[in-house]
Structure 1
Amino acid sequence: MQATGKAGTSGARVERRSIDFVPENERHGSPAQQFTLWFGANMQITAIVDGALAVLFGADALWAIIGLLLGNLLGGAVMALHAAQGPKLGLPQMISSRAQFGIFGAVIPLVLVVVMYLGFAATGTVLAGQAVDQILQTGTPAVGMVLFGALTVLVATLGYKYIHMLGRIATIVGVLGFTYLGIKLLASQDVGALLAPGTFEFPTFLLAISLGAGWQLTYGPYVADYSRYLPASTPARKTFMSAYLGTVLGSQWSMTLGALFAALALPKGSRFLDGQVAFLGNLSGGGVIAVVIYLVIVTGKLTVNTLNAYGGYMTMLTSVTAFTRKSVVASWTRFAYVIGFIGLSVLIAVLASPDFIANFKNFVLLLLMVFIPWSSINLVDYYLISKEKVDIPALYNVNGRYGRWNKTALFSYGIGIVAQIPFLAQTLYTGPMTDLLGGADISWLVGLVVTALVFYPLAKRNSTAPSHMIYPTELGSDANDSLEGSVADTATA
């Protein structure tokens, strides 16, 4: 019941699969690729900005770095648990949400995830556009943003194999470039003074933890997209550790530099706030070296922006096909979706760039409120209730075991969002519990825990999980029930 072609293998030029199941004869690669992809994706300037925010909003550099590390360790564990699902399921991350929310119900968090992708793609385009402009000296950052968008479309359209190739390049380039910046910082500044322990303030320390955790948790909705081609026999532990170490080490390296750069630019931080890209160029020494650093910035941003575009395309397609009931789409569809997604993100970038820093901080923290509950529900169901057993054909069948809507998941999702509101510390709204915590925002932790506590007992009682893993090739009684109404689509996968 599955394709026998080699689309998606190491010899493929352009990926042809989208939201459909990847059969075993097309699986390839090793867990090490997860390390380089996520390490390279985090060795980039937006992660530097994220680390700098912890200092710019009040924390001393040392406590900011420690808080960011704790956040990366905690959030990275959740992110890597999602990554470990890829080889077992052979599916994009958000398709698996149908097992928890139902075919139509999954569209609700999917729409919010698309907004997240757009936001990150737009903020990344702002910084990459500045770097391209510094290289070409056009004097118009918008030109750099458009050129960067075109590069993103190219790689995202080529697909999985080339995204991983870009991750390996970004790892090498990032290590070299960021090591050089670190050496320049050590040689030109008193780093010991920057790291001198100051007054410990719990609210700003919690903010640093939230920035680190939030950064990692935002990868959850698409991390399995990039592990789904691994052989199904790949140990989950290896996939977990490769993704975990890659994302934590890469992000912490970048964020540590960001915290130090921001501390260097204090007391007002104007040197960093006025232009993050130019700040790094000046720190590098200017001239040809600065151009090299700008290329490092573009490479890192291209990697993560491609993830945003590719994940955005997968998420939009998952939403649309819930209603069209298709599991396979034409190759040109990827190009059309990616073009539309990147075009909109570039437009947002051009319009939002003057207030980039403030918007980015609020964006990262606010996004946690809407998809942390999704992450909690997905992981609790997969690891604790379904116990890694999924009826894959039923994910494409509105009359299958998962149905159209899952009221338990949707109810828990709503409770998870509402529970966070009193703990929010945002520009537009500050919850009453935030004042009692000295201004600290722990809404992400509340959402993660409360959602799990509400969802687990209800879902355990009403579970529709199969007794064993059901793949499209299985024709047992359970599989036959699931395949009814969707077998034609599966056969063409």
Structure 2
Amino acid sequence: MKVETRSIEYIPANERHGKAKDLFPIWFGANMNITTLVSGSLPIMLGLNLFWSVVAIVIGSLIGAIFMASHSVQGPKLGIPQMIQSRAQFGVIGAIIPLFLVMFIYLGFFASNTLLAAQTIGDILPISQTWNIIIIGAICFVVALYGYDLIHKVQKWFSAASLLIFLIMTYIVFQLPVPQEQWLPTNIDVSAFFLAVSIAVTWQLSYAPYVADYSRYLPVDTPPKKTFWYSYSGTVIGAVWMMILGAVLTVAIPNFMDNTGSNLASLYGSFAIIMYVLIVFGQLAINVFNLYGAFMSSVTTIEPFAKFKVTPKVRMGFLLCITFLATILCIMGQGNFLEFFLNFIFFMSYFLIPWTSINLVDYYLLRRGEYNVKDIFDLNGQYGKVNWIASFAFVVSIIAEIPFINASFYVGPVAKALNGADLAWAAGLFLPAILYYFPMKRKIRNTIIESDFHQLDVKKVEKL
């Protein structure tokens, strides 16, 4: 298998391959890991019982996946990575704003996944956690280097293996003793419930910055509905399944979160090694997504200022630097994982949601999927250097979210007034849509009118 030669450029028709159904194992497998399990534990840690935790997980996943799968549809249509498509909304230079923030998301998830995997390896091998982190980073680097096709193949095999192992685990988990009142719809903490919904929504939105990266090689005539539903069903089934298991395990096993991997593997008794291998492999698989996405984002950020061809050597250089940085951050961030992860999930959502709102409003309501891909790579093209409408909507929406925030590092006045309910995600979803849609619609209309007048003038000159 060869190293992928394409990076952020358009994928031509003769290189398109695959089917929409290939997206199901990608996104199903992306959720079959202990990081998803840990996310499912968070509603319990917030004080909800199992009934309300499950309701929050299901509602949040169903809502969040709508946006995630809507981004996936953009891949076959445009044939370019997700974040470079943001240039059509923010401008070629302006897109660096969300790109810079997305880079932190990749690095944060890489650190979270690697720490959990390193902890698991430390339970079965006499290797220090620091060396485990380094080994994990090296393996992820190799797979990300080969790129798109290898990632798809790895995910297909992993999805099949994880399906069988986690089916067995599900049977085992639901045999564990759980207090009956945990399944009763009583004593709901409304603020904790909204926080739990936000976690599940954000979990799905975390895929949005790179979801189209894994559909961009599909043929341009791939039906959008199939792209949407294979992505949607894969991520919802995988996420809901793992999160519910995480919630049940947190209730059933005392101190489950102290060592997630070891506690999970111990359920298999003498076959624990199988679960250990699956856990580590799952963390490696999802971390490849983060490295691959970070590579795409870094190239997209630098490309307007320094035109260059992404050869296999250049690709290797970029990925080496990113892997090194991510690994160092992970080594420095060892300790107090749960608090770090919870804060990271919330912090990430405050930036991701306004971006996804602007992107989807532009794609589905304003331009209806019709873009000039060539101009996306042109500083002097129709999308310009900076679109101040998108930049203004993005920044103002982030500021507007502040009063609604409820996190350990800050609680806003509106969140306090609502007894701790975090509705920042709602403000971050609807406000940028309004701030962007109306002025941008006017701008597009004026551009079309100017273009029509220009064409009329040209025709008059030709007649003369």
TM-score category, normalised to shorter length: over 0.9
In structure 2, the residue matched to 1:344 is: 325
What stretches of structure 1 move > 3 A for 4+ residues in a row?
Answer: 190-194, 464-467
**Runs of at least 5 residues in structure 1 that lack an aligned partner in the other structure:** 1-11, 468-476, 479-493
* CA shift for structure 1 position 156: 0.3
* CA shift for structure 1 position 453: 1.1
Q: Encode CA deviations 1:309-333: one digit per residue, 9 max, x unaligned.
A: 000000000000021244x322212
In structure 2, the residue matched to 1:306 is: 288
Alignment of 1:44-443 (within 5 A): 44-135=33-124, 137-190=125-178, 194-265=182-253, 271-285=255-269, 287=270, 289-326=271-308, 328-443=309-424
SS in 2 for 1:323: coil
Q: Hey, what's the Cα distance between the residues in 1 that align with 2:214 and 2:237?
A: 18
Paired residues of 1:19 and 1:91 also in contact (CA < 8 A):
yes
Paired residues of 1:29 and 1:231 also in contact (CA < 8 A):
yes
In structure 2, the residue matched to 1:488 is: none
Q: Encode CA deviations 1:420-466: one digit per residue, 9 max, x unaligned.
A: 10000111111000012211111112101111011100110112899
- Of 19, 24, 36 in structure 1, the residue corresponding to residue 25 of structure 2 is 36
Opposite residue 122 of structure 1, the aligned amino acid is: A
SS in 1 for 2:83: helix
Range with greater deviation from structure 2 (197-206 or 30-39)? 197-206
* CA shift for structure 1 position 272: 1.7
Paired residues of 2:178 and 2:252 also in contact (CA < 8 A):
no
SS in 2 for 1:221: coil
Q: Hey, what's the Cα distance between the residues in 2 that align with 1:276 and 1:255?
A: 13
Among all aligned residue pairs of Structure 1 and Structure 2, give the percentage whose two residues are the same amino acid: 38
Opposite residue 275 of structure 1, the aligned amino acid is: N
Opposite residue 345 of structure 2, the aligned amino acid is: V
Q: 1:257 to 1:465 in 2, by over 3 A?
A: farther
SS in 1 for 2:85: helix
Paired residues of 2:173 and 2:245 also in contact (CA < 8 A):
no
Q: Hey, what's the Cα distance between the residues in 2 that align with 1:427 and 1:20?
A: 41
In structure 2, the residue matched to 1:471 is: none
- Of 429, 435, 441 in structure 2, the residue corresponding to residue 454 of structure 1 is 435
* CA shift for structure 1 position 132: 2.3
* CA shift for structure 1 position 195: 2.6
Q: 1:255 to 1:130 in 2, by over 3 A?
A: same
* CA shift for structure 1 position 167: 1.1
Paired residues of 1:153 and 1:338 also in contact (CA < 8 A):
yes
The alignment yields a C-alpha RMSD, in angstroms, of: 1.8
SS in 1 for 2:252: helix
Paired residues of 1:104 and 1:322 also in contact (CA < 8 A):
yes
SS in 2 for 1:138: coil
Opposite residue 434 of structure 1, the aligned amino acid is: A
**Runs of at least 5 residues in structure 2 that lack an aligned partner in the other structure:** 449-453, 456-464
Q: Hey, what's the Cα distance between the residues in 1 that align with 2:328 and 2:240?
A: 30
Q: Hey, what's the Cα distance between the residues in 1 that align with 2:179 and 2:28?
A: 25
Q: Hey, what's the Cα distance between the residues in 2 that align with 1:376 and 1:190?
A: 40
Q: Hey, what's the Cα distance between the residues in 2 that align with 1:53 and 1:323?
A: 42
Tell me how many residue pairs correspond in the alignment: 450
* CA shift for structure 1 position 109: 0.7
* CA shift for structure 1 position 150: 1.2
Paired residues of 1:325 and 1:397 also in contact (CA < 8 A):
no
Range with greater deviation from structure 2 (67-76 or 339-348)? 339-348
SS in 1 for 2:101: helix
Q: Hey, what's the Cα distance between the residues in 1 that align with 2:447 and 2:217?
A: 23
Opposite residue 216 of structure 1, the aligned amino acid is: Q
Paired residues of 1:74 and 1:213 also in contact (CA < 8 A):
yes
* CA shift for structure 1 position 282: 2.1
Q: Hey, what's the Cα distance between the residues in 2 that align with 1:85 and 1:356?
A: 35
Paired residues of 1:206 and 1:441 also in contact (CA < 8 A):
yes
Q: Hey, what's the Cα distance between the residues in 1 that align with 2:64 and 2:14?
A: 33
Q: Hey, what's the Cα distance between the residues in 2 that align with 1:344 and 1:290?
A: 33
Q: Hey, what's the Cα distance between the residues in 2 that align with 1:194 and 1:301?
A: 30
Q: Hey, what's the Cα distance between the residues in 2 that align with 1:276 and 1:419?
A: 36
Paired residues of 1:117 and 1:311 also in contact (CA < 8 A):
yes
